[in-house]
Amino acid sequence: MREIEDKKIVEEVSRLCIEANCILGEDVKKAVRSAISQEESPLGKEILQTILNNAEIAEKEMLPICQDTGITVVFVELGADVKIKGSLEEAINEGVRKGYKEGYLRKSVVSCPLRRKNTGDNTPAIIYTRIVSGDRLKIIVMPKGGGSENMSEVKMLTPAAGVEGVKRYVIDRVARSGANPCPPIIVGVGIGGTMEMCALQAKKALLREIGSSHPDPFYDNLERELLVAINNLGIGPQGFGGRTTALSVFISSFPCHIASLPVAVNINCHAARHKEVIL
């Protein structure tokens, strides 16, 4: 048994919250740079360049890229041979509290969805814990903005809808989102599982490196087809028209019931933020 102190988790989560919000990933920057050369709309090009300029200011001055510093989604992989001194969930929430205070991040969480009072410290985090083998603890912090999350959806298709039905649904969901989720976007698609597992797959898909290929050639091909179709919608940067609507489409699939074909679309804005640590 290896012991990890809760204090260490608090420190790491706090740091990850600040870094994820202030430092745009190299993969996003690279994808935006390459999109500038392919963008046909002059206004679209200008917006993509502005996104890079903003990222530079944010990183230099350690300011959040976007004022919506998100609800904090945390993925944990806990090795079965790790013993946490204290409570894992409390440590994560304490880390969020600390990071959002010390990093001057916006507190964007209400305690009750209907009575809507701000909790004042961005907790609770949305935590998903998986027990894995080994003696390590992996923590991924993913601040998720509301604008793009609001354009996300789960649909229970029937198996007869097949791959064509999935494609139609994903493209339609992006088309209906228009300018709202701050394009260029990253599209996470969950296929299969149960209703809630499908949504979780879509969210996890957003953690992939922008521009990376799916290991399964079937899904790799489907991702590429969807990306072309989405970019042909013409929505473009910020929805003002253009070639760059999405930077990547990522699919995560899961086995499902013989009667079901769930599909989930989780959209991320161009401020696609996530940072991780292995303890």
Partner 1 sequence: MANYNLKTPLTEEVVAKLKAGDSCLISGIIYSARDAAHKKLVEAIEKREKLPFDLKGAVIYYVGPCPAKPGYPIGPCGPTTSERMDPYTPFLLARGVKGVIGKGNRTQEVVQALKEHKGVYFAAIGGVAALLAKRVKSYKVIAYEDLGPEAVSEMVVEDFPVIVVNDIYGNDLYEEGVKKYRK
Q: Which residues pair with 182 in a beta bridge?
A: none
Residue number, 26 or 40, with CB nearest to partner 1: 40
State which of residues 86, 124, 147, 165 lies at the interface with partner 1 (CB under 8 A). Answer: 147
Secondary structure string (H, E, C) spanning 23-39 = CCCHHHHHHHHHHHHHC
Find the binder of partner 1 among 4, 18, 31, 65 (CB under 8 A).
65
Q: Which two tokens mark 148?
A: 């793009």
| Distance in Å, CB of 116 to partner 1, minimum | 7
Rounded to whole angstroms, the Cα distance separating 221 from 14 reads: 38
Residues 247-266 binding partner 1 (CB under 8 A) are: none
Which phi and psi angles does 227 have, rounded to 5°?
A: -60, -45
Residues near 45 by beta carbon (within 8 Å), at least 6 away in sequence: 36, 39
What is the C-alpha to C-alpha distance for residues 275 and 139, in angstroms, rounded to an integer? 8
3-state class of 123 per DSSP? coil
Q: Which stretch binds partner 1 (CB under 8 A): 6-14, 87-95, 216-224, 229-237?
A: 229-237
Q: Which CB, 63 or 127, lies closer to partner 1?
A: 63
Among 86, 124, 165, 239, binds partner 1 (CB under 8 A): 239
Q: Does 111 bind partner 1 (CB under 8 A)?
A: no
Question: 159-192: b or e for each residue (b if 16 or more CB lie within 10 Å)?
Answer: eebeeebbbebbbebbeebeeebbbbbbbbbbbb
Closest approach of partner 1 to the CB of residue 73, in Å: 18
Least CB distance from residue 180 to partner 1, whole Å?
4
> Is residue 182 at the binding interface for partner 1, with CB under 8 A as the rule?
yes
Smallest separation, CB 3 to partner 1 (Å) = 36
Q: In the complex, which residues of this chain contact partner 1 (CB under 8 A)?
A: 40-41, 43, 47, 50-51, 53-54, 57-58, 61, 63-69, 104-108, 116, 118, 120, 146-147, 150, 178-180, 182, 232-236, 238-243, 269-271
